[in-house]
Each structure stands twice: as C-alpha cells, then as structure tokens.
Structure 1
Amino acid sequence: MDPISDMLIRIKNAQTAGHAAVLIPYSQMKHEIAKALERAGFIAGIDRKGKRVRKMLEVTLGGGGKESPAIRGVKLLSTPGLRRYLPYRDLQRASHGGIYILTTPQGVMSGSEARKQKVGGELIAEIW
C-alpha cells in the first residue's frame, strides 16, 4: 500500500473508531495533505512529533465522534501505478458533498482552491 493511501485510511478508521488523535509516520507530502484536510474542516489539527528518524505526524481528529465522523468515505484516485492528472477546467465538484485533494505546482490543495487559483494537477483522493 502506498504511504498516502495508508495515511488517509488510518485517519478514516480512527475517526470511525472514535479516537481523539492518530499517529502517522511523517513525510512532507503527508504533512501538506493533512494541512489541506485541516483547511477543509475534516481534521481539527496537526502536529509533528519526534526527531529525525522517528518523526511522526499527530493528527487531531475533528467531527462528531463515533456517531458522525467527519470523514465518511475515501476514494483513492491516483495510485503509484496509475497517475491521474486534470486541468483546472475539468475539475468538477466532488460527489457526496466532499472534496478532491490535488498536488499542483503551487502545492497540495483541495479542488475548490485549485479552481480558484486556476491550476490543475494530480488527483490524489476524493474525501467525503
């Protein structure tokens, strides 16, 4: 399993189980994705823990707890074997009232942020 999909599934499972926070192995890309999720309101906060080799990302979960988690579903769109790219004109609104997460030349952002800035990029996931 690739590290980004592992991160998203860990967050979803922790919210479903009713946990307050989850620890994820750190990488710069995961940190940027977590910041995009925080801006969209799916998680409450992020914090880096540890030093050098054992760096971890502590994600504080938001939402209504176990009864109504903030992340109800994750659909992984781009995988290491099949990358999916879209220009900003083709970015539609995400179904289920969710968001798209994209990597763009300006960094990681949601689909609505990419449309406002008129940049396309690689689709990572759809989150609702």
Structure 2
Amino acid sequence: MLTDPIADMLTRVRNAVMIKAEKVDVPASRIKLEIAKIMKEEGFIRAYKILKDKKQGILRITLKYNADDVAVISGIKRISKPGRRVYADKDSIPTVMGGVGISVLTTSRGVLGDKACRREKVGGEVLCHIW
C-alpha cells in the first residue's frame, strides 16, 4: 500500500530520466493524469496515455529528450506531503528556477500550473516543482 501515490509517480519519472528510459508506467489516477497533462502542456514530456488493465489502469508517460540525448526534465520535487501540507494563496505562488520550471497546484478549479493559477488568480496546495 502506498501512502503517497503522487510522490511514487514523481520518483518513477525521476528514476526513468536518470536511466534515460523512453517510457515510464505508473498506476493511473485522476490527479496523476492531470499532472501528466500539465507536464505535456509545458513541454516536459512528449506524450501520455491511459492503458486499460483489470484494475485502475496504467498511465504511460513518454519522456522527452533534446538532440544531445539530455532529458528535458532536470529535476522534480514533491512539495506538499501527507505529513506536511503546503499551501499558497494567489499572491504567493512560488516560481521555480526563476521561471524556467513550473509549480503544480491543486486548486478549487482543478490541477493547474503556476502560470494558469496567476492568470486565474487562484491559490491552492503546492503539489510539486518541475524544472
């Protein structure tokens, strides 16, 4: 049993980037799908899709590398954890690496990236930073 499935997803992606894997599979959930969607929109991954199985499904993430075979994702960090929740209001949404990276937040309007949160003027729980 996992106590933090989002941290498990981020760790799987981080490990796959370290070994230069083409794809990584994680157990699917709605919030993981939304995080993958934001990563795709921001250009950190190439693609994602849901594979059906007898249980909850599998989220397959295709990682993205540049021409020199260097991963686009250079770092990924879980911020809000089950033991310590971290929240940011609309005026204190964190920037990552001077704007190079993104913060992923869960808000009253769903899971959003930091730019979308600033545009819509909403805050929420800071899930992770990706750079």
Counting only pairs closer than 5 Å after superposition, residues 50-61 of structure 1 correspond to structure 2 as 50-61=52-63
- Hey, which of these two has a bigger chunk of helix by percent? 1
Determine if contact 2:104/2:113 at 8 Å carries over to the other structure. Answer: yes
Q: How many matched pairs? A: 128
2:49 is aligned to: 47
Matched, 1:119 2:88: no
Shifted more, 92-101 versus 117-126: the winner is 92-101
Aligned-residue sequence identity (percent) comes to 36
Distance 1:122 1:48 in 2: 25
Q: Which of 83, 101, 110 does residue 98 from structure 1 map onto?
A: 101
Matching residue within 83, 86, 95 for 2:85: 83
Give TM-score scaled by structure 2 length. Answer: 0.89
> 1:7 and 1:87 mapped to 2: Cα distance?
25
SS at match of 2:74: coil
Match of 2:64 in 1: 62
Unpaired runs of 5+ residues, structure 1, are none
The CA distance in 2 between the partners of 1:11 and 1:47, in whole Å, is 15
Q: Check conservation: 1:17, 1:66, Cα contact below 8 A.
A: no
- For structure 2, the 5+ residue unaligned runs are none
Secondary structure of 1:88 counterpart: coil
4+ residue stretches of structure 1 with deviation over 6 A? Answer: none
Deviations for 1:42-79, whole angstroms, at most 9, x for unmatched residues?
11111000135151001111122884211111221100
Contact 2:48–2:61 at 8 Å: present in 1 too?
Answer: yes
The 1:101/1:30 distance shift into structure 2, 3 A limit, reads: same
Match of 2:7 among 5, 8, 15: 5
Q: What is the CA RMSD across the aligned residues, in angstroms? A: 1.7
Using the size of structure 1 for normalisation, the TM-score is 0.91
Structure 1 residues 27, 49: CA separation in 2 closer, same or farther (over 3 Å shift)?
same
